[in-house]
């Protein structure tokens, strides 16, 4: 509970005694490049294959001849939009971005770079962490949108190449009983996950004390805690928004 309290105090410090906005603009752009562009490949790769696997496995399990083939595409679409693209992508991003944030801040802490900022009278947590949080909240949804598209495309390619579904059935399944709120739901979840991953990882890294061993441990904790927070928030948001 005390760590949770420290986490909320840390969040408060991000918004108090901030520097001028012009200071943050360049930093946010740099972080967007690092977090967004730097994560495109892994997110694209993972989601394309996840979509492909979902399609083939769904087809494998749908053996009843009375169930139309286009249901396979519907299942790929809904599972991608509602769960796989936002949640799985954010878990992947927790591993990539979260460990990076914790490692970077932890190293800055043990090499006194954060102290150097503090003695200059700069709010180090706000200067270092806020741009990462804003960049995450901006870039995660873009990555998740790309992830959703590629996952459904991966399902199409795998389904057609494996001969489990025809292109026409796949497209018709994608269009069948489509609820646009699913995309809104996915984006809401992603924004929450982005905030959790970036702040939890930053908190772990910013509060490191010790040496290289502790920085490594902080990176591990950042990923572990972010993943736990993602799945817990996923359940809570699903309960709130879909029931």
Partner 1 sequence: MIEIKNIAKTFGDRQVLAGIDGTFKPGDTSLIIGGSGTGKSVLLKCMIGLVKPDSGEVLYDGRNFLTVDLESQKAIRREMGVLFQGSALFDSKTVLENVRFPLDMLTEQSESEKLDRAQECLQRVGLENAGDRMPSEISGGMKKRVGIARAIVLNPKYLFCDEPNSGLDPLTSIKIDQLISEITDEYKITTVVITHDMNSMMEIGEKIMFLYKGNKLWEGDSNTLTQSSVPELNEFIFANKLLREMEK
Minimum distance between the CB of residue 116 and partner 1, rounded to whole angstroms? 4
**Using the rule CB under 8 A, is 13 a contact of partner 1?**
no
**Using the rule CB under 8 A, is 209 a contact of partner 1?**
no
**Using the rule CB under 8 A, is 19 a contact of partner 1?**
yes
| Of residues 122, 107, 92, the one with CA closest to residue 219 | 107
What is the size of the binding site for partner 1 (CB under 8 A)? 15
Torsion of CA 197, 201, 204, 205, to 10 degrees: -170
| Of residues 135, 153, 156, 155, the one with CA closest to residue 145 | 153
Q: Which stretch binds partner 1 (CB under 8 A): 92-100, 107-115, 151-159, 200-208?
A: 107-115
Residue 237, C-beta contacts closer than 8 angstroms, at least 6 positions apart: 185, 188, 189, 192
| The binder of partner 1 chosen from 13, 57, 113, 224 (CB under 8 A) | 113
**Using the rule CB under 8 A, is 115 a contact of partner 1?**
yes
Helices 181-206 and 99-110: angle between axes, nearest 10 degrees: 20
Query: How many whole angstroms separate alpha carbon 104 and alpha carbon 102?
Result: 6
| The binder of partner 1 chosen from 65, 121, 163, 180 (CB under 8 A) | 121
Minimum distance between the CB of residue 26 and partner 1, rounded to whole angstroms? 10
Tokens linked to 232: 């817990």
Q: Which stretch binds partner 1 (CB under 8 A): 16-24, 72-80, 92-100, 185-193?
A: 16-24
**Nearer to partner 1 by C-beta: 109 or 189?**
109
| The binder of partner 1 chosen from 13, 79, 107, 172 (CB under 8 A) | 107
| Of residues 65, 61, 97, the one with CA closest to residue 79 | 61
Interface contacts to partner 1, rule CB under 8 A: 17, 19, 23, 107-108, 111-113, 115-116, 118-122
């Amino acid at each position: 509970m005390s760590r949770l309290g420290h986490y909320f105090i840390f969040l408060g410090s991000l918004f108090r005694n901030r520097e001028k906005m012009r200071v943050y603009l360049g930093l946010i752009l740099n972080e967007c490049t690092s977090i967004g562009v730097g994560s495109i490949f892994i997110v694209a790769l993972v989601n394309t294959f996840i979509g492909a696997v979902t399609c083939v496995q769904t087809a494998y399990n749908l053996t009843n001849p009375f169930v139309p083939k286009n249901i396979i595409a519907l299942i790929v679409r809904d599972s991608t939009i509602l769960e796989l693209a936002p949640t799985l992508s954010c878990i992947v991003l927790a591993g990539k971005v979260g460990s990076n944030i914790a490692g970077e801040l932890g190293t800055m802490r043990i090499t006194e770079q954060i102290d150097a900022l503090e003695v200059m009278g700069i709010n180090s947590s706000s200067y270092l962490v806020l741009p990462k949080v804003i960049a995450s909240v901006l870039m995660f949804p873009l990555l998740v949108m790309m992830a959703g598209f590629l996952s459904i495309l991966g399902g199409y390619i795998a389904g057609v190449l494996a001969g489990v579904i025809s292109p026409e059935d796949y497209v018709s399944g994608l269009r069948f009983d489509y609820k646009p709120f699913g995309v809104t739901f996915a984006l809401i979840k992603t924004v929450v996950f982005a905030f959790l991953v970036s702040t939890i990882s930053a908190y772990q890294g910013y509060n490191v004390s010790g040496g290289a061993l502790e920085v490594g441990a902080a990176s591990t904790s950042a990923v572990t805690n972010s993943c736990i927070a993602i799945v817990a928030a996923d359940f809570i948001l699903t309960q709130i928004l879909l029931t």
